Structure 1
Amino acid sequence: MANTPAPHILVIPFPSQGHVIPLMKLSVRLATQFGFRITFLNLQQSKQVNGGNPIIRMLHILEGQGNNNKSTQSVQRLMPGRVEELIDQMNATGSDAITCVLADQTNGWAFEIAVKRGIRRVGFCPAAAAMVAVQFSIPRLLRDGIIDQQGAPTKDDQTVKLAQEMPALRPSEFVWNCFGDQNTRKHMFELVLRSTESMRSADWLLCNSAHDIEPGSFGSIQTLLPIGPLESIPSSFGSLEGEEDQVLLNWLDQHPPDSVIYVAFGSTTRFDPAQLEELALGLELTNRPFCWVVRSDHITPEIKPVLDRVGGPGKKQGKIVSWAPQEKVLGHPSVGCFVSHCGWNSTMEGLANGVPFLCWPYFADQFLNASYVCDVWKVGLRLEREDGNGMMVVTKEEIRKKVDRLVGSVELKERSSEIKRMVRDSVGERGSSTQNLMKFAEWVRGL
């Protein structure tokens, strides 16, 4: 009697780094630990993720469609038809049939396709559980007059607290209200409504978080299960960003514990040149060693001289790089401060390594995450903006002042160590996240 093929999971991320990375981490775990077959959809060809290892099949379904296909509208327009064709092709073979679809929560259309094809559905939230709590609370927010029918706040400066252990949130900073003009925000709200309704049809909802750091959020949604923080991808699977910079790690080795400021703002944050200069001067004023990740497209002729002065080749205080192996950097004993945009992946990596934050949120869920860091977990401080020549900026004096406060705070360091223990315990052998993932794997095997 022939062996039964291993379950085959079709993984559909939203094509943005903050969404792709955690789903790839989960896919690697499901393939290596549980032996599941994984087909991982990429929008287009990118740097190879799995180092040629055939355990995960990578498909790039929009080759030849141009370079501007990563917007939400493009995904909605281009991907559903291609995914339907792909599922039908796989299911026609029998041996390659899809056991279940594992899709990013923003890809509500993927759940709709799976329902039509009679395929089991698993939703994945790459952000905080509080994000899902906000989405599932939209009917309540509408009923209570917190937001209008287009998702816009009805009052300026109001806050709402959805659960006792959740941070107070500003409706103006709900994820759909952090995009462009009014029409874009309206479109995003409609997308959130659609994806939320689709998520309600999912058999499982998984989240890259830990129960003990978000008990209020998980308590408000019984079907949402924490399985995080998801572990880093093994080196044999390559990297989503590039080769590890051993030179940087060697530089960190030369500094004493808790002395280095690590500065990184993710893949989408954009700063005005004047703000970049203010940040550079602020780091210089701290008189502390710093490592700053500055994307190459930010280095204009206008700002390059300042960057070279504070962190160019041969400079002792600062080291400016275009990319860093972030999890290794945050785990290095010399790093004592993380200046971050508070994207959820960065937030979880900072928490897991016990590094206190200076929070500089830019858009989307980053404001919520910063509220968690500063108001709930109390492992960081906010960098406040003020008016500077008609533009709101974080000044060099603010940067120096907050670095001094953070580095000198025993309370913040102790609290960071406590949260680190909680996060790491969740993925221990008997941790709640580990147990949830094993339960999910058993369910997949039973399909």
Structure 2
Amino acid sequence: MASSTHALFIPYPAQGHVLPLLELAYRFADHGFAVTFVNTDHIHGQLVAASPDLVAGQGGAQPEPGQVHFVSVSDGFPADGDRNDLGTLTSALMCSLPAAVERMVENGQFCCVVVDYGLTWVLGIAKKAGMRTATHWPSCAAVMAAGLDLPVLIADGMLDKDGLPTGKQIPPVGDLPMNLAPLAWNAAGTEEAQKQIFRCLNNILKALGQDIVDVLLCNTVKELEEGILSQHPSIVPIGPLPTGLREGKPIGNFWPDDDSCLSWLDAQPDRSVVYVAFGSIAVLNQEQFHELARGLELSRRPFLWVVRPGLANTANYPDGFLETVEKRGKIVTWSPQHRVLAHPAVACFVSHCGWNSLMEGVRNGLPFLTWPYFADQFINESYVCDVWKTGLRLVVKDAGGVLTSEHIAARIEDLLNDPAAMSRARELQQVASRSISKDGTSFNNLRDVIDAMKG
């Protein structure tokens, strides 16, 4: 018999998906739910290494109300496989995950299941068991809406059967004065990866058509995407989900935080530091890595730079760089980003435009220099630069070229001398704060969803 307050949560196995869904799981626990949070074995190992205090579920025991327990299942991927190949990883999950979920549903006595939107297709198992279901989309509503509109785009001849553009003009999506939004899956790596991800989107649409999802959640703010949300009222905005603010509880980071950057920030003047971070997947070639380093050097501004393992092939710094910037630069392998962005010393955020990073920046009133890497990040950049006007693009002059050190330094200076962008960033901070405060739009939406999941 299902428990009235035991919830099963399953994120897609990527950093930007685990973080917000874990915060959502904590929200459910705050309201009396016991939560079983399921990662793949590979991701679970990374989380344990980064957060030794992580509480793993023991055997078949259920967590107590108010607790989040972590368990893991196989992702069906070779141990030495490249898990940054999202197309292949997604295909492996589609083969391995349904059986694992079926076993958990049979044995777990859950009342509801909340999964990442990319795993919507597994919810048929939960629905057959009479459970309430929800999906969570960790990016902007515009991209989610574009996926929902996919059949229309294909029927109207704007996309072919593989989701590739036919050359026919695609109308803007929501508030975005551009045509990239429906094509996020076409900036996801190799052509084969794009096709695999597109097939996954089609499976999601088929699942939605079978009425196996009770609610579509999105980590966004109603007031920031008013146009697109008014066209798609089925999307429920519950953001920004403020990750990392729970003292003593795992955040969901894949690498250990280097807290030394906080004491370094304490010694810097207010609104002086350029924060540079590119998330968990972006990769720079050696030439671009050097140009970025030289750009930070040329800017003569204090900077905090996150150089995670794998950001560059070798991460060799230019000759003399470390010595030159020693007194005004700080380099870490991973930062407690939620605390960094809230620090008064930080002036701006040089970002890959991952949605979680954008929401954290918005929540802290920061302007952006945008440097998207793939997929939805290009659409997110358009929100920052074209709609919200809280940032500036870094622009490569030649196709296949690099961002030069001179351009990077000049754009840092342009942004930090742009009072309009600074003012708009503070305005959006207030909008985001109101949305998650008592009786704000996201606050009320999330409260209603959690109550509905209890039944």
TM-score of the superposition, structure 1-length normalised?
0.90
| 1:257 counterpart (263, 270, 276) | 270
Work out whether 1:352 is the aligned partner of 2:363. Answer: yes
Aligned to 1:180: 189
Letter of the structure 1 residue corresponding to residue 395 of structure 2? E
Work out whether 1:204 is the aligned partner of 2:201. Answer: no
How do 1:27-426 and structure 2 match up within 5 A? 27-31=25-29, 33-44=30-41, 45-46=44-45, 47-48=47-48, 51-52=54-55, 55-62=67-74, 66-68=79-81, 70=83, 71-90=89-108, 97-155=109-167, 160-163=171-174, 165-170=175-180, 174-200=183-209, 201=211, 202-233=213-244, 234-241=246-253, 242-298=255-311, 303-306=315-318, 309-311=320-322, 315-387=326-398, 391-426=400-435
**Does the CA contact (< 8 Å) of 1:310 and 1:317 recur in 2?**
no
Q: Structure 1 residues 69, 309: CA separation in 2 closer, same or farther (over 3 Å shift)?
A: closer
**Corresponding residue SS for 2:91:** helix
Runs of 5+ unmatched residues, structure 2: 57-62, 84-88
Deviation sequence 1:165-214 (CA, Å, 0-9, x none): 2342326x722211333333222211111113323521111111110101
Letter of the structure 2 residue corresponding to residue 82 of structure 1? A
Distance 1:282 1:69 in 2: 31
**Does the CA contact (< 8 Å) of 2:19 and 2:251 recur in 1?**
no
- Paired residues in the alignment total 429
Q: Structure 1 residues 315, 106: CA separation in 2 closer, same or farther (over 3 Å shift)?
A: same
**Does the CA contact (< 8 Å) of 1:312 and 1:318 recur in 2?**
no
The CA deviation at 1:89 is: 2.0
Distance 2:72 2:81 in 1: 15
Q: Structure 1 residues 404, 208: CA separation in 2 closer, same or farther (over 3 Å shift)?
A: same
Deviation sequence 1:383-405 (CA, Å, 0-9, x none): 00123xx8421111111111111
How do 1:10-21 and structure 2 match up within 5 A? 10-21=8-19
Runs of 5+ unmatched residues, structure 1: 91-96
Deviation sequence 1:104-127 (CA, Å, 0-9, x none): 111132122223333221111111
Aligned to 2:23: 25
**Does the CA contact (< 8 Å) of 1:25 and 1:231 recur in 2?**
yes
Distance 1:168 1:329 in 2: 32
Aligned to 1:445: 454
Distance 1:311 1:24 in 2: 37
Q: Which stretch of the first structure deviates more once superposed, 76-85 or 343-352?
A: 76-85
Computed over aligned residues only, the root mean square deviation of the Cα atoms, in angstroms, reads: 2.2
**Does the CA contact (< 8 Å) of 2:55 and 2:70 recur in 1?**
no
Q: Which stretch of the first structure deviates more once superposed, 43-52 or 343-352?
A: 43-52
The CA deviation at 1:23 is: 0.3
**Does the CA contact (< 8 Å) of 1:161 and 1:169 recur in 2?**
yes
Q: Structure 1 residues 335, 159: CA separation in 2 closer, same or farther (over 3 Å shift)?
A: farther
The CA deviation at 1:347 is: 0.6
Deviation sequence 1:277-315 (CA, Å, 0-9, x none): 0111111111111111011334655x4242x74346980
Distance 2:401 2:270 in 1: 34
TM-score of the superposition, structure 2-length normalised?
0.89
Distance 2:153 2:452 in 1: 34
**Does the CA contact (< 8 Å) of 2:75 and 2:92 recur in 1?**
no
**Does the CA contact (< 8 Å) of 1:351 and 1:420 recur in 2?**
yes
Distance 1:152 1:314 in 2: 45
Aligned to 1:94: none
Distance 1:69 1:290 in 2: 31
Aligned to 1:429: 438
